[in-house]
Structure 1
Amino acid sequence: MGKDHDRENGNVEAMRTETLVIHGDDDRTNDYTVAPPIYYTATFRAQDSDEFAEMAGTPRHPQYYTRYGNPGHQRVEKIMAELEGTETALVTGSGMGAIATAVLSLVGAGDHVIAQTRHYMSTAKIMDELLPRFGVQVTLVEQADIHAFEQAIRPNTKLIMVETPANPTLVLTDLAAVAKLARSHGILTIADNTFASPINQRPHDWGIDMVVHSATKYLGGHHDLTAGVICTSHDLAERIWHTHISIGSVLSPMDGWLLLRGLRTLPLRMERINANALALATFLEQQPQIERVYYPGLPSHPQHELAKSQMRGFGAVIAFAVKGGYEETERFVSALQLPFNAVSLGGVDSLVVHTAAMWSGVMSEEQMKVAGIPANFVRFSVGIEHIDDLKSDIWKALQAI
């Protein structure tokens, strides 16, 4: 952590990440509050008809109508753009709101999209089911094989969608290689950076055009909000914004405020989470009841060198296979006491899911097979608890298998 970021106005010294998340949205000209206010209003008043016309005609105006923008949202967007190194950002009501809005803004009937065989399940459904309904062709490729991306390109390819590390198998995509390939063919790229966070990875630094997040995860950090973020150029953000206000994936003022508060501690939380997860992954590899551990920070990960080259930390999520099958895995997960048996990731609390049990309700057996999810697969999102307590709890649960 600690990479310098330039302030938009250019008059303030470049700030390191820990300072940026505290002061990157300072607005000392408009109010005297230390804690930012919550602009809990659907609409904003104009002083006269000329001002109203200006408000109504300005894309992303922060004080016209909250579906169009909100001063609290603008604060989040400023920090997120600087964290990801993009020109601007746009907040949405959920991570899937960000992904769906971005994708639907960039492609139409007759276009072709390249995506990965491994994506978050709802992203996979957009590629498998939604886009084909609107006449968009989709080719899924093995994300670890850059040649598969190249071979999938067609004259009508408009977009390449990647996710790295991928949910839940933690397979990586070479961001620089995909970005270079796409740009040589005039293709736009989107990277889902949810599993990494901008503290651990900045896809735009490697040439990716657009970075999306489920801000419900690391960015909020406390399992108490639902939000999404799109980080990109001014031109692409305005293009996406026009779709956004039509689809209506709007972030509430309260969730926007909670997200801003969560961002204040993001670097500190990620430092602890990264350390905990690497220690726990190493511990799990040493347990005889564990068949295999998947974590990019481990030397045993087949893409460990790629992880070290494009990531600054390896995140909260550890995937591992329990020896045995579905029933043994269920016993292990049920015996855990500290982590909550709940979906999501990236918060202060550790969370655990038996992945096959979680995804079986929304994915077919064939889709799960393609995604690489066996019956004995566990996804563990490490929180900020003391590492010795986490190790002890896992060791006890393993004895229940």
Structure 2
Amino acid sequence: MMPKNRHFETDAIRTQTPSSDQCEHSYPLYMTSSFTFESAEHARAIFASEMEGNIYSRYSNPNTDEFITKVCRLEGTEAGVATASGMAGIFTTLAGLLNQGDHILASRSLFGSSHQILSQILPRWGISFTYADTNKLESWESLIRPNTKVLFLETPSNPGLDLIDLNWAGTLAKAHNLIYVVDNCFATPYLQRPMEHGADIVTHSATKFIDGQGRAIGGIIVGSEEPMEKIQFFARHTGPSMSPFNAWLFSKSLETLSVRMDRHCDNAEKLAKFLGDHKNVNFVKYPHHKDHPQFELAKKQMKRGGGVVCFEIAGGFEKAKSFIDRIKLLSRSANLGDTRTIVTHPASTTHSKLTEEEREAVGITPGLIRIAVGLEHVDDIIRDVQQALG
């Protein structure tokens, strides 16, 4: 039994599956599609859930089991599912929990693919949604319908870094018997633990800061046992499973999550300060920057501000395009959470499938730039941004 009062850093490193008779220090990789049984009775008992055991890696695998156990420990919950990608995690969560005729209340500021799932995919099966504005919390309760089953939000949001009060949302969900789902990808469990604020389910794109090195695609869903049972059933029979190799990578990556996130935050804070003082920048948004409109909330529910900074460059799309093209050291990519700093223009890439009105509603202007701040020396990051700004 693991003690409950261990620090995050220790849990991230020492939450491991017990070693085999080989006494390996690092848990080995189990690259197998299936597992064998000692006898007919052994097989029957495992299939009947009378005893624990692996059957098939689509259902479970020692590597995915360790990764799930570790994230559950770090998020402070009981059960989980590892998926092939972050978006597989979002879809598996919603599809596993909802039935035809159900309704989702979601924060308007969501990742572009999450928006497409809500607006284009789930309606095919009679599941509807309504967006609620992050800056109009007083309107959320009036948007709840008799058939609303899930409250879904991400905070900080992608890419605008809008925040939602997790405690407030938890109270709302409990009052209306809603399943409360939080996409915690930007913050990671090191900076924010939604389960402590009433969440029922937490999702991550493990591709981002959990991996932290741009190597592998994956997602993770963790939460309370009752709602997770439905999600686990859906995942078991539809197969959005994570590969054992990726689970092995992610579990090892979690051992350095706290160290990496502290460096991401250090660099992001300094970059945000630089951008806030630049004459060619209309505004900068970073949760722990004093100019963020929800600075006090960020200080309350996030240990630090995270590794993403966004800002609006003066001059709109043409100036944004010029800035992207002038970058020399940093990477032009749609990913984030890498060791390498990444520059993205959301309006023309990650959120390009939204209409202009939809982008405007969540603050994605033609001049908005998202920088996922990496682990390079911060002076070199700032120097490249400075020369690109002109």
Does the pair score TM above 0.5?
yes
**By how many angstroms is 1:42 displaced?**
0.5
Show CA shifts across 1:261-309 (max 9, x none): 2111101000111111011101111111111101111111111111111
2:163 corresponds in structure 1 to 172
In structure 1, what is the Cα distance between the partners aligned to 2:310 and 2:51? 40
Q: 2:313 aligns with which of 322, 325, 330?
A: 322
**By how many angstroms is 1:148 displaced?**
2.0
In structure 2, what is the Cα distance between the partners aligned to 1:172 and 1:166? 7
1:346 and 2:337 equivalent?
yes
Gaps of 5+ in 2: none
- Which piece of structure 1 moves more, 334-343 or 212-221? 334-343
In structure 2, what is the Cα distance between the partners aligned to 1:375 and 1:38? 45
The aligned amino acid for 1:73 is: T
1:4 corresponds in structure 2 to none
In structure 2, what is the Cα distance between the partners aligned to 1:246 and 1:317? 36
In structure 2, what is the Cα distance between the partners aligned to 1:145 and 1:160? 15
Q: 2:211 aligns with which of 203, 216, 220?
A: 220
In structure 1, what is the Cα distance between the partners aligned to 2:15 and 2:6? 8
Q: 2:60 aligns with which of 36, 59, 69?
A: 69
Per the alignment, in what secondary structure is the counterpart of residue 300 of structure 2? helix
2:177 corresponds in structure 1 to 186
2:25 corresponds in structure 1 to 34
TM-score, normalising length from structure 1?
0.94
In structure 2, what is the Cα distance between the partners aligned to 1:339 and 1:63? 44
- C-alpha RMSD of matched pairs (Å): 1.6
Per the alignment, in what secondary structure is the counterpart of residue 289 of structure 2? coil
1:372 corresponds in structure 2 to 363
- Which piece of structure 1 moves more, 134-143 or 162-171? 134-143
1:199 and 2:194 equivalent?
no
1:390 and 2:381 equivalent?
yes
Show CA shifts across 1:59-99 (max 9, x none): 99662100100000111111100110111222111111111
In structure 1, what is the Cα distance between the partners aligned to 2:350 and 2:28? 39
- Contact 1:144-1:174 at 8 Å conserved across structures: no
Which runs of 4 or more aligned residues in structure 1 lie more than 4 Å from their structure 2 counterparts after TM superposition? 59-62
Alignment of 1:1-400 (within 5 A): 9-10=1-2, 12=3, 14-28=5-19, 31-58=22-49, 63-359=54-350, 361-399=352-390
Per the alignment, in what secondary structure is the counterpart of residue 371 of structure 2? strand
- Contact 2:101-2:126 at 8 Å conserved across structures: yes
- Name the % identity: 34
In structure 2, what is the Cα distance between the partners aligned to 1:79 and 1:245? 20
Distance change in 2, residues 1:360/1:18 (3 Å)? closer
In structure 2, what is the Cα distance between the partners aligned to 1:339 and 1:125? 29
Distance change in 2, residues 1:60/1:387 (3 Å)? farther
Gaps of 5+ in 1: 1-8
In structure 2, what is the Cα distance between the partners aligned to 1:333 and 1:27? 48
- Contact 2:286-2:292 at 8 Å conserved across structures: yes
**By how many angstroms is 1:381 displaced?**
0.2
Per the alignment, in what secondary structure is the counterpart of residue 254 of structure 1? helix
Show CA shifts across 1:313-354 (max 9, x none): 111111111110211111111111222101121121111111
TM-score, normalising length from structure 2?
0.96
In structure 1, what is the Cα distance between the partners aligned to 2:360 and 2:50? 44
